[in-house]
Amino acid sequence: MFKINENYLKLPGSYLFSAIGRKVAAYSQAHPDKKIIRLGIGDVTQPLAPAIIEALHGAVEEMGKAETFHGYAPDQGYEFLRSVIARQDYQDRGCQIAADEIFVSDGAKCDSGNIQEIFSLDNRIAVCDPVYPVYVDSNAMAGRTGSYDAGTGTWSNVIYMPCSMENGFVPSLPEEKPDMIYLCFPNNPTGATITRAQLQEWVDYAIRTGAVILYDAAYEAYISERDVPHSIYECQGARNCAIELRSFSKNAGFTGVRLGFTVVPRDLKCGDVRLHDLWARRHGTKYNGAPYIVQRAGWAVYSEAGRQQLQEQVAYYMENASTIYKGLTEAGYTVSGGINAPYIWLKTPGNMTSWEFFDCLLEQVGVVGTPGSGFGPSGEGYFRLTAFGSHENTAEALDRMKKLTF
Ligand SMILES: *Cc1c(COP(=O)(O)O)cnc(C)c1O
């Protein structure tokens, strides 16, 4: 008789987006004439940039001719893509990362969920609270997180690092000693960033204690301030303690195209074992490479035209971020994020819970956001709005929010 992986049964239901969906459906049924504005889910809305479309068309044509047809891609990714990533994302910023330390994949969600496989089940993980749920759930499925307490919304064997207004949404070094530390900056959901000096403290801590840092830099393209690092490898010693995850989803609108990569430096070792070798083995065994067509599209992201067009796309979203940030601040809200990230994180007014504010916003003015408590216990009393809508909808949502009464 087969048995299942019982770790799956310990997972709490993925309550957040299904609960939002249910409430929005009920509202639109009750008010079929009202237009709902969705600033909830973190998905982009602008179409792919012309340089990317052109590269996609070109690659499709190549696939139709015997001379230029491509079958299985190399499992680490095509050299043309890895070398342009290494040069533009790393070497041009003074980071010593080589093309063969880059593993191309179909996105950062998969990589951030899969990376835990190369580590022992004895490792203890530390995560920010609130957090992108993939880090915790993937470790829970593997059996690394202990038991779940529905009352507190926490796992017994996870070190939670609270991020609140008091610490500027940057976690303090934990008192208990973790083996694997997940950091994401610019952060989803809080929109917060870490300075280079603060990140250096984390790198020093990891080296001192023998921990590994799993650094999710999916929102790197949104950084506007100078002292905010674009990569953890801007910190001294990070090659010895950090893996970095990147995505094409938020900088280039690839949420439906699918492309990302993970950097595993050759210096990162456990004893004499290189994590690079383990990840290469894992990748080669379980993954057959991102599609040629998509890697060509990824390559166009780094072309001169692509870079120019994508800067404009990011600027478009950041104008929304600024509209939301300014509008809410003027309306008396306590607001953070929105400067180096497409997320605005606001304190719910009048001590409302995150869900109370959600209901109030939906029912009074038909605007949908995401309750902070869905990202972890420290998210209670906060609310996330995204800058990924259109200018028109974002401006209208703000006008409506100014009419809210509590
Ligand atoms: C959107 C997002 C990603 C990217 O996921 P993809 O699978 O590449 O689309 C990764 N990490 C965080 C925190 C995100 O918000």
Residue-wise DSSP of 209-267: HT-EEEEE-TTGGG--STTS-SSGGGSTTGGGTEEEEEESHHHH-TTTT--EEEE--TT
Q: Of all atoms in ligand 1, which is nearest to the CA of residue 108?
A: 8
Ligand 1 and 109: CB distance under 6 A: yes
CB 82 within 8 A of CB 102: yes
With the most atoms of ligand 1 within 8 angstroms of its CB, the residue from 128, 220, 249 to mutate is 249
Closest of 8, 37, 211 to residue 124, by C-alpha:
211
pTM of the model: 0.97
Ligand 1 and 144: CB distance under 6 A: no
The pLDDT of residue 3 = 98
Ligand 1 and 216: CB distance under 6 A: yes
The pLDDT of residue 202 = 98
Q: What are residue 189's phi and psi, to 5 degrees?
A: -100, -10
16 dihedral zone (left: phi>0; alpha: psi -120 to 50; beta): alpha
- Between CA 269 and CA 273 the distance in angstroms is 5
Q: Of all atoms in ligand 1, which is nearest to the CA of residue 110?
A: 7
Which amino acid, residue 128?
C
Nearest 5°: the CA angle 111, 55, 66 is: 95
The pLDDT of residue 381 = 97
Radius of gyration of the chain (CA): 21
The pLDDT of residue 17 = 87
CB 145 within 8 A of CB 131: no
The pLDDT of residue 252 = 98
Residues in the chain, pLDDT under 50: none
Residue reference for tokens 């504010």: 357
The Cβ of residue 69 has, within 10 Å, a number of other Cβ atoms equal to 10
Ligand 1 and 107: CB distance under 6 A: yes
Non-local (6+) Cβ contacts of 89 within 8 A are 95, 97, 220, 230, 231, 246
Give nearest CA residue, ligand 1 atom 14: 218
CB 404 within 8 A of CB 333: no
